[in-house]
Amino acid sequence: MISAERLTKRRGSRTVVSDVTFRAEPGTITGFLGPNGAGKTTTMRMLVGLSEPDSGQALFFGGRYRDLPNPGRRVGILLDASAQHAGRQGREALAVSARTIGVPMQRVDTLLKLVGLDEAAAGRRVGKYSLGMRQRLGLAHALLGDPDVLILDEPANGLDPEGMRWMRRLLRDFADRGGTVLLSSHLLAEVEAIADRMIIIGQGRIQAQGTRAELLPQAGTIVEADDLDGLDAALHRAGLATHPADGDRRFVEADPEDVARAAMAGGIVLRRIGPANEASLEQLFFELTASGEPNPSSTTDPSLPEPTGVAA
Amino acid sequence: MSTTTLPIPTRWNPAGVNLGPGLGRLVAVELRKMTNTRAGFWLQVATVALTLIAVIVRCVVGDAADHTFAEVLNIAVRPAAFLLPVAGILLVTSEWSQRTGMITFTLVPRRSRVLGAKLVASLVLALAVLAVSVVAAVAAVLVASPGVDGTWAHLVPLIAQSAVYLTTGMVIGVAFGAILLASTPAIVVLSTLPVAWAALASLSYFDKVAPWLDTSRALDPLPHEVLNGTGWAQAATALALWMLLPLAVGTWRITRREVAS
């Protein structure tokens, strides 16, 4: 269990992390979401004592990280997969840490196998690894001490789609067995796919946090039909609040199931039906994390439509 | 690369969760880190190889009567005296330049413990290299010396002084590494500063203090002359300036400096 209380970090006159407070609970995956430079990494570094907060504190199981007797056995950390000695073999890199935290060497081999680094890869120097391989080695390193908590900064970086799916499964499994996961990403889709709770951070501050449902309490259903008048009437009869949406669509303040029942009762054929919050969560993310300064990679012309995909 | 679906082996051994690494284990880890990288491994190989070459060359050239233990040992420790400080520097700076500090200092958050382990590991390595130098010197003298009087004079004091020479040299390396936290500047500073200092100290203005503060005068005689009281006092003051002071500054730096990402 992690709790951060009013963490604040200044660099010179600039406040890079301001008043960050959150909890990450056992059995859940908490996604730390924000654009690059929002303060995710700085916050994570403060959690584990690599950086001293100017004020505030972070607690693990109610105590400070540096007071954990053997932190590598309680908290698994992957902050930067490239932070490994380039001239050391992958297996040796794990062996050094295994020795430090007092786990047997066979655990190193078990984890190399788990993350899919074979004998040849394990014997290669880390300097020759691809980013994806480093990420896998970093995950193996984080899991080495059989921890209760995982802290992972951009763990999906450099993984191929198959690798991402594998990692999601691995983290889901870890959380389902009572583990606490805090991971960061600048990609909404990635956090959405895996996290139970989201913390949206922008300009060093937490802009919003909660489950998806809590972040989007107005979640509803988007529905599309040929017979829009009939649909409106059917929804009205069922007592569901309905608003016009783009095209031949309606936005309904209800679950898809209720909308489908209402349409069936009215004998209306639906072309399409689905939850409405995909687009709105993305919009929320952009609104909350907008820096005020124009982002050179995105359009600043307000007459152009909102970008529909999250920039990768 | 294959992805397996092995379950994470879990809660396999709760022992040791609340037991942090002791100093002995940390020292063993630091020794391993010094030799299990490409640079570290070849640095140790080079140290031993150059020691053997120096001893052999010393015994092939020159007058056989000069092949006393003191003379040969004096040559035998020179490669190590040059390369051990480099190993000491890398031992600290690689945590920053290779960014392994992010791992080291999260596994052992009390950085002073890590530095302590690095210092003890440095002593162990320096003594191991000394053992190689002494064995090589003894073997060379047995083979090459005609066995004149005084060949084995001051055997024990010279070995002890060489131990001081090599260990302090390596600790100086660790200290400079800790101050600069970057390999190249530390190696450059450590190899040029004493020379610049010696040049400055050779000015007649510094005649009085130079023997007390100049490492080349105060420390370099250690492997081949038995020091008297004044000699030890001069060695001690030079070490205070070149080892203890940098070590104190370096410790302060390491415990406070943010570990870069």
Query: pLDDT per residue over B77-108, tens digit each?
Result: 999 999 999 999 999 999 999 899 999 999 99
B12 within domain boundaries: no
Contacts of B135 (CB under 8 A, 6+ apart): none
Quote the longest CA-to-CA distance of chain B.
76
Nearest to B18 among A50, A70, A113 (CB): A70
- The domain of A184 spans 2-209
> Is residue B14 very low, low, confident or very high in pLDDT (cuts 50, 70, 90)?
low
Within 8 A of B39 by CB-CB distance, chain A residues are: 87
Q: What's the helix, strand, coil split of chain A in %, to 5?
A: 35, 25, 35
Contacts of A180 (CB under 8 A, 6+ apart): A1, A2, A24, A25, A26, A27, A28, A30, A148, A149, A150
Q: Do A71 and B106 make contact, defined as CB atoms within 8 angstroms?
A: yes
Query: Do the interacting molecules here have an ipTM over 0.95?
Result: no
The residue behind tokens 């390369």 is B83
A189 with A260, same domain: the answer is: no
Contacts of A94 (CB under 8 A, 6+ apart): A108, A111, A112, A137, A140, A141, A144
Beta strands in chain A (DSSP E): 2-11, 14-24, 29-33, 55-60, 75-78, 149-153, 180-185, 197-202, 205-211, 221-225, 242-245, 249-252, 270-275
Within 8 A of A75 by CB-CB distance, chain B residues are: 106
Q: What is the CATH number of the domain that holds A118?
A: 3.40.50.300
Nearest to A100 among B29, B98, B258 (CB): B29
A303 within domain boundaries: no
Q: What pLDDT score does A307 carry?
A: 42
Question: What would the mean pLDDT of B216-243 be, rounded to a whole number?
Answer: 92
B15 within domain boundaries: no
- Work out the percent of chain A whose per-residue pLDDT is above 70: 91
B72 within domain boundaries: yes
In this structure, what DSSP letter does residue A63 have?
B
Question: If you measure CA to CA, which chain A residue comes closest to B27?
Answer: A100
B195 within domain boundaries: yes
Within 8 A of A141 by CB-CB distance, chain B residues are: 103
Q: Do A113 and B17 make contact, defined as CB atoms within 8 angstroms?
A: no
Q: Do B6 and A114 make contact, defined as CB atoms within 8 angstroms?
A: yes
Distance (Å) from the alpha carbon of B92 to chain A's nearest alpha carbon = 13
Looking at A157, A175, A209, the residue that finishes a domain is: A209
In this structure, what DSSP letter does residue A167 have?
H
B6 within domain boundaries: no
| Residue A52, both tokens | 């001293």
B2 within domain boundaries: no
Question: If you measure CA to CA, which chain B residue comes closest to A116?
Answer: B3
Within 8 A of A173 by CB-CB distance, chain B residues are: 7-8
Question: What would the mean pLDDT of B21-34 be, rounded to a whole number?
Answer: 96
Within 8 A of B259 by CB-CB distance, chain A residues are: 45, 50-51
Q: Do A114 and B4 make contact, defined as CB atoms within 8 angstroms?
A: yes
**What's the whole-model pTM score?**
0.84
A120 with A239, same domain: the answer is: no
Distance (Å) from the alpha carbon of A51 to chain B's nearest alpha carbon = 5
A254 with A113, same domain: the answer is: no
A196 with A165, same domain: the answer is: yes
A129-161 pLDDT, tens per residue? Answer: 999 999 999 999 999 999 999 999 999 988 999
Checking if the pLDDT of A297 tops 70, the result is no
Nearest to A50 among B39, B98, B105 (CB): B105
Checking if the pLDDT of A287 tops 80, the result is no
A69 with A197, same domain: the answer is: yes
CA A304 to chain centre: 29
A140 within domain boundaries: yes
A102 with A122, same domain: the answer is: yes
Domain count, chain A: 2
Q: What pLDDT score does A251 carry?
A: 85
A16 with A128, same domain: the answer is: yes
A108 within domain boundaries: yes
| Helix (H) or strand (E) segment spanning residue A164 | helix A161-176
CA B78 to chain centre: 12
A294 within domain boundaries: no
Nearest to B16 among A102, A117, A170 (CB): A102
- The domain of B46 spans 23-256
How many other C-beta atoms can be found within 10 angstroms of the C-beta atom of residue A60?
A: 23
Nearest to B29 among A89, A99, A103 (CB): A99
A116 with A240, same domain: the answer is: no
At residue A209, what are phi and psi to the nearest 5 degrees?
A: -150, 150
Q: Do B19 and A100 make contact, defined as CB atoms within 8 angstroms?
A: no
Distance (Å) from the alpha carbon of B24 to chain A's nearest alpha carbon = 10
A45-102 pLDDT, tens per residue? Answer: 999 999 999 999 999 999 999 999 999 999 999 999 999 999 999 999 999 999 999 9
Q: What pLDDT score does B199 carry?
A: 85
Asked if residues B250 and B178 have their Cβ atoms less than 8 Å apart, the reply is yes
Q: What distance in Å separates the CA atoms of residue A245 and residue A51, rounded to the nearest whole number?
A: 48
| Long-range interactions of A193-198: CB distance < 8 A, separation 24+ | A193/A168, A194/A29, A194/A31, A194/A168, A195/A29, A195/A30, A195/A31, A195/A33, A196/A28, A196/A29, A196/A30, A197/A24, A197/A28, A197/A29, A197/A30, A197/A31, A198/A30, A198/A31, A198/A33
> Is residue B13 very low, low, confident or very high in pLDDT (cuts 50, 70, 90)?
low
A10 within domain boundaries: yes
Q: What distance in Å separates the CA atoms of residue A102 and residue A124, rounded to the nearest whole number?
A: 24
A202 with A132, same domain: the answer is: yes
A226 with A140, same domain: the answer is: no
B56-80 pLDDT, tens per residue? Answer: 998 888 777 778 899 999 999 999 9
Q: What pLDDT score does B260 carry?
A: 64
Question: If you measure CA to CA, which chain B residue comes closest to A113?
Answer: B4
**For residue A29, what are the β-bridge partners?**
A181
Distance (Å) from the alpha carbon of B226 to chain A's nearest alpha carbon = 41
Distance (Å) from the alpha carbon of A210 to chain B's nearest alpha carbon = 28
Asked if residues B134 and B76 have their Cβ atoms less than 8 Å apart, the reply is yes
A144 with A63, same domain: the answer is: yes
A287 within domain boundaries: no
Domain count, chain B: 1
